[in-house]
Amino acid sequence: MNFLKINGAHGEGGGQIVRSAITLSCITNQPIHLENIRKNRKNSGLKPQHLTAIKILQKITNADVIGAEIGSTELKFIPRNIESLELIEDVKTAGSISLILQVLIPVVSISQKKLSLTIKGGTDVLWSPSMDYTQYILKEAYSRMGINFSIEITNRGYYPKGGGEIKLEVYPAKIKLVNFFERKTNNVKLICTFSKIPLIIIEEEIEKIKEKICKEKNNVEIIIKEEKAIDSGASLLMYSIDDNSIMGVDTLFNKKTQNFDLNFNKFMNNSLGLDEKLADMIVVPASLAEGKTVFRVKEITNHLETNLFVTSKITGCKYGIGKISEGFEVIIEGVSNSSIK
């Protein structure tokens, strides 16, 4: 069998290579052989959220899989026919549901299928986009690219106990070109969800952030919601959206310091098209759009650089990165693959 070999130690050498490679393997029907998985991480190999994503995709694509085990540093994934399914899954840890959805949504939608999924795990955990980031930021970007999904959050799941649950619906897509150049709006939204933390503490923290936003002559809309969860915790999303930009930053409540470690200046000082986290997430669909997707970002992260490389290797898309006065402009020239129309 003709496997495309992917070195998981390339670039940042983390889980993003695994997610992108398997996603594109399914969409393009290309068997892949992943080696050195998460080689550059302290604990290398597959984690529970990677394994859950792989096993769900195995069901959706009727794939043959070799090496799908916790800690495995090598994986062979052979996708076959993709089906529309209704599934119930459980990560069984506080492993990130958001990172799993990054894999599932493009595969199902771009392949013109549907998915109804109920999944348990971590909704708001470290080193991962919060569920609100997925619901408000990624959903907006994907919608503009022709990928549509809906999320219902039944329970929040914070580290370390997890136990969160969401219901996901994914719909068939028609990939479209997008451009994200410059943020012009001065409207900012704050969404805070919390569980088993005194409301007064949350409100005091939000008020401090609100004062900072208003000092910068921005309008601010605030939503604070108490939600069910097994463990105590809170997450905060600050974002702005206009016709030419989608910008978000999220963080978790630090229970030791009793505050939100929000990178406020990073958000306020960025007037370009996308935040760096979202830029990374749109590479896969952009690689499959017919024509050029262009976006501007403050920095080229290791995640983005690695994702561009891996995606171009699998799809054959071309990309370029140019320096501009405030950051960088990225151009992705996608490929129209007849097998995914």
Catalytic residue annotation: 303
Residue 97, burial from CB neighbour count under 10 angstroms (0-12, 13-18, 19+): buried
Q: Give, in order, the Cα–Cα distances in Å from 229 to each of 82, 93, 191, 209, 223.
A: 34, 14, 17, 25, 18
Q: Is the dihedral of CA 16, 19, 22, 25 positive or negative?
A: negative
Strand ranges in 26-137 using DSSP code E only, listed in sequence order: 32-35, 64-66, 75-78, 85-90, 115-121
Strand partners, 117: 87, 168
Strand ranges in the chain using DSSP code E only, listed in sequence order: 4-7, 32-35, 64-66, 75-78, 85-90, 115-121, 148-155, 164-171, 179-180, 187-195, 219-226, 233-242, 245-254, 259-260, 292-297, 318-324, 327-333
3-state secondary structure of 340: helix
Sheet holding 75-78, edge to edge: 4-7, 32-35, 75-78, 64-66
Q: How far does CA 6 lie from the centroid of its chain?
A: 21
3-state secondary structure of 109: helix
CA separation for the pair 131, 136 (Å, rounded): 9
3-state secondary structure of 37: coil
